[in-house]
A and B are shown apart, each in its own frame.
Chain A
Amino acid sequence: MLKVRNLSKVFDKVQAVDDVSFEVNPGEIAVLLGPNGAGKSTTIKSIAGLLRFKGQILINNTDNKSVEAKRAFGYIPETPALYENLTVWEHLEFIARAYSLRDWEETANRLLTRFEMDDKKDKLGKELSKGMQQKVSICCALLIQPKMIMFDEPMIGLDPKAIKELKSVFLELKQAGCAVLISTHIIDSIEEVWDKVLIMNKGRIVLNLTRDELDNKGESLEKIFLEVTDSKGEGEA
């Protein structure tokens, strides 16, 4: 569903992402793990079509910047940013119009109820707390029933109930055949859900591992993460 080939991105002579390649298949939850500044957000923003880059990104076998590709993916940014003067419901209506969705109202209502936002339908974007804005952002991305979805640090600002709900959303998306890519640096938050882990450090993918491969190694994800991202260890190797 998502194919990233030889992705590189340079900002002012700083190599933010360096020749990164990976794939996320339908019904697979891939996690982009890495310390701060590893290049995770740049990778996600490149896939979302917000940055220019070297390499190739295909979503549903079409170029990621094409209108067809955009119809297929959802994106939840690291920092939610809503329209200050649009109500929660109007945000969903805008998304429904922009993606030419039909009969979206029932799905929208279900999503709002699930994230305990059904009583906030008429609240303006500027009246919501950061956590609530994040919930609206998630609802907007889920409304389009995407074939591929990207979450950039999705748990930040969410309350425990919403975190629990989001984890079950991950699993439901997986069951529905959606390719899920989650970027985070908090290992605990995705421990139970991931199928494939892509560990990034200094712009490169330093480890690409499936859950089965990790089980065979008999080590914890945290231990492996610390080993491969430890700059001292890297220098010695």
Chain B
Amino acid sequence: MKALLFLIRRNLLNGIKSAFKKPLVLIGYIFILLFIIAFIVASFAMPSGEIRTLPPALFRGIMMLVFTVLYYTSLKLGIEKGSSYFRMSDVNMAFTAPLRPNQILLYGFIKQLGGTLFFILLAFFQIPNLKNNFAFEPHGVIVLLLAVVAYTMAYPLIGMLIYSWTSVSKERKRLAKRIFDRAALAVVLIFLIDLSQTRDFVKSMSHVFDHPVAHYFPIIGWTGSIASAAVAEPDTAFLVGAAGMAVVIFGLSLLIYRMKLDYYEDVLEATEYVEAALKAKREGRNMTFGQKTRKNIRGGLSGKGARALFAKNMMEIRKTSMFLFLDRMSVMVILSSILFKLIMPSEAGLNAFSMFMVLAFSLYMLLLMQAQGRWSVEVEKPYIFLIPASSFEKLFYASLSEHVKNLFDGALLFTLSGIFFGSQVPTVLACILSYVFFGAVFLYAEVLTRRMFGRVHSKGLMIFIKMIFSFLLVVPGIIGSVIAVIATDSEFYMIGAMGAWAFVLAVTLFMFSAGIFNNIESSS
């Protein structure tokens, strides 16, 4: 075990040391650290329920829903690919060394605890928002984090156990998948039946997910019950949940540690998958990674010079989309934006700005999802630098497909929302155009970030810099839209002002970032 602890220690220390070698990266990390500290302080210190106090039942419902989705997606992926705490370096060097598999598993588990930190940080970012809307108890933040820790520790253990059972035969794998899918379908059906009776999304969510059966449902319910105590005194459900999760985590750890383990093969496949996913992330293909490519897309390429890039990108999008340009990202942006509006309580003052709220949330999602556009894939390959065209043309055509896709997604989202909320056509059009222009702002802000900071090893840091950069740039637009709404009291002008600013910003950012395809050095 000493050798494995040496690995963990050196990895951590060298990681910190290498940050000090790059001043710019170090500044980035310090900035992130300050930002996180500010969020943590704010999470604990800020008053709760200041803006509004939504019913605790809704909070409990949201928590149950979140953990149901988290467990379902992570465990289902576990059946498919296993869950791996390991990298190929572990497989090649630690697995073949004279160390007991149980010790290596423990080492993997300790590494996973590092990953837990990431989830805790993500949770911190949501706390101020939750505190604004719900009346948190003094212990609220702590129990919420406790639930996140319980989840991040439990799911790899459960995942590994499920995988070791299902990896034996395809029949078992099929059976496990069927059980998972049918259970998920049952939950959706129960929800839809309730929705048809109440015709109120929020009420149905409380009915289904804030039900005693849900509170005591093993693992998912237990985790949700721990989180639910954030807005109430700890009750029986909390105690059962906390005790249940402790037993699950310790029991499974002990079971796996004591078992005569032969899991290397399972981990090998899962680790290869993890390595491929990390490689895709480094190359900016994380959103399309694992997507099936449709081979029946025909039609050839058109355009000459830099235009050929546009034609190629469009063909790639069509090959990886479900229908026309509709892909996983579109579905996530559209569904989450509509869901957001449905969950938000209807208050008299806000109803007039439904479209604006959907636009704001969809832009937030777009900023998160469009973490790396197709252009970043081009930077990793030599072709774009060799094409005999100006850097302006190359960047324009390499990014045009993103704008077309955003136009498609925006048209779909805002036409649906427009019908849903009974909005005027000009407002819908303003939303669509704003969505496209903001998409361009985020994209060219990313290109410019790359030009300014070069290749940053940590993609997380890169995305963080881009997000802060984009946010600062958008601030004048927000101010403009506030002025517009005060002056006119019209949602159309409010959105129009934001859209117009985004257009100016997109063009400016494009002008500054175009040089990226001059040569490889200007992008590295």
Contacts and interface: CB of A to CB of B under 8 A. Distances in A.
Contacts of A12: 170
Chain B interface size band reads: 20 to 34
B97 A90 contact: no
Contacts of B12: 85
A124 interface: yes
Interface of B is mostly: helix
Contact of B6 (A70, A93, A124, A126): A93
Given A67-B99, A99-B97, A51 B3 contact: no
Contacts of B11: 83, 85-86
B6 A71 contact: no
B94 interface: yes
Interface string A138-169: 00100000000000000000000000000000
A75 B88 CA distance: 14
Contacts of A70: 96-99
Nearest to A127: B18
B262 interface: yes
Nearest to B14: A85
B170 to A, nearest CB: 7
A14 interface: no
Interface in B90-124: 91-100
B88 A79 contact: yes
B92 A98 contact: no
A86 B14 contact: yes
A39 B88 CA distance: 20
A69 B94 CA distance: 14
Interface residues of A, number: 38
A95 B457 CA distance: 27
B31 interface: no
A93 B2 CA distance: 12
Contacts of A65: 262
Interface in A10-58: 12, 45, 48-52
Given A70-B96, A95-B97, A85 B18 contact: yes
Interface of A: 12, 45, 48-52, 65, 67-68, 70-71, 73, 75, 77, 79-87, 90-91, 93-95, 97-100, 124-126, 137, 140
Given A68-B98, A71-B98, 15 more contacts: A49-B96, A50-B96, A52-B262, A67-B100, A70-B96, A70-B98, A70-B99, A83-B87, A84-B89, A85-B15, A94-B6, A98-B93, A98-B94, A98-B98, A124-B18
Interface of B: 2-4, 6-7, 10-12, 14-15, 18, 87-89, 91-100, 170, 262, 264-265, 268, 275, 457
19 contacts: A12-B170, A45-B268, A49-B96, A49-B264, A50-B95, A51-B264, A68-B98, A75-B92, A80-B92, A81-B275, A85-B18, A86-B7, A87-B14, A90-B10, A90-B14, A94-B3, A97-B2, A99-B98, A137-B92
